[in-house]
Chains A and B, each alone.
Chain A
Amino acid sequence: MRSMTSGRVIALLLVMMPFAAWADDPIGQIKTETGAVTVERGGKAQAIAIGDHVFQADTIVTAPDGTVGITFADNSMMSLGPDSRLALDQFRFDTTTEDGVFNSSLQKGTLAVKSGQIVHQTPEAMHIRTPAALLGVRGTEFVVRADGNS
């Protein structure tokens, strides 16, 4: 930070400001885990454990022996099977009005989903992209398999 010129710091703060209220907030918590599970955050991969929080723009990765379950701030739930990649692209949730947006990408592997308050308030405010398709969630529990090679 010290090496930055003050102009650059101010510019950076201005860019970040509109998002400051929510960009840093946790969007979910790891509830279950088996085998090796990592999170890619800010270009770095690190191990993630039960009780840890996840944030917007994280990518959750399970090894061939790994599974993980996450509950999000709107009470939606997702679990990933082995050898899977899930990018948490965009998550916004207003706890007072329950308005929000939840967009993620299953880049490969398997995913189980139960929608939460965001979808209850606004059907199809939750989208899951796979390499081949786009899923619009109107409120339900479902499973998805995505082939990473398509």
Chain B
Amino acid sequence: MILFLRRLAPALGFTLLAACASNDLVVVLPAADGHIGGVVVQHGDSKILLDKAYAAAGDDAKPVTVDPKEIDQIFGKTLAARPIPPKDYTLYFMADSNELVPDSRAAFEDVFAEIARRKASEIVVTGHTDTMGAPDYNDKLSLARAKSVSKLFVDRGLKPDSVIAVGRGQRELLVPTKDQVAEPRNRRVEITVR
């Protein structure tokens, strides 16, 4: 049977291809922040970059048009199952202290309200430093501060395994500076509730 089909294939080429075609579909959605890096769809030798809202590719990575109503029909339940997006908070500390500045004490309470509205949550506590000192040292320093802030959350009743401490060192400066610059706004801890 397979041999028979193979011999017939040149004549029936189009039909056979259609029969083998998958039902693949990829659609880029509008981005909340307006930035779309895109998706490269590769099917054998054909390749297409989808980098605009509602850009779509079907079988064999060929561009197709899809209207929002169709997206809702095909993907409505899938989209309804999306998790609540992570939410970020920034905490600042009094100079040379583990004590939060007054504004950050309110943010600290907001974190708990955000946790309460989620069915299952984790928090990521990420420490950042300024550019004083060596990068390696700042990795350790930022992690140490993240761990001490994590303890504040655990002391308030969060399960230790739902609090993740991360040290990013001086990689993500809030205020860009040259090396070896003391900048209080860069010495911060970011909290992500997810």
Residues of A within 8 A of B (CB): 29-34, 50-51, 67-71, 75, 77, 79-82, 84, 95-98, 110-112, 114-115, 119, 123-124, 130-147, 149-150
Contact = CB atoms under 8 A, between A and B. Distances in A.
Interface of B: 20-32, 35-43, 49-51, 59, 61, 71, 74-75, 77-86, 118-120, 122, 124, 126, 139, 143, 164, 166-169, 171, 192, 194
A98 B126 CA distance: 12
Contacts of A137: 37, 39
29 contacts: A69-B82, A69-B83, A75-B86, A77-B82, A79-B78, A96-B168, A98-B168, A110-B78, A111-B78, A112-B78, A112-B79, A115-B37, A133-B26, A133-B42, A134-B43, A135-B26, A135-B39, A136-B40, A138-B37, A138-B40, A140-B37, A140-B39, A141-B31, A142-B27, A143-B71, A143-B79, A145-B75, A146-B22, A150-B20
A79 B81 contact: yes
Contact of A123 (B37, B124, B139, B167): B37
Contacts of A133: 24, 26, 41-43, 61
A77 B39 contact: no
Contacts of B30: 141
Given A110-B74, A112-B82, A143 B42 contact: no
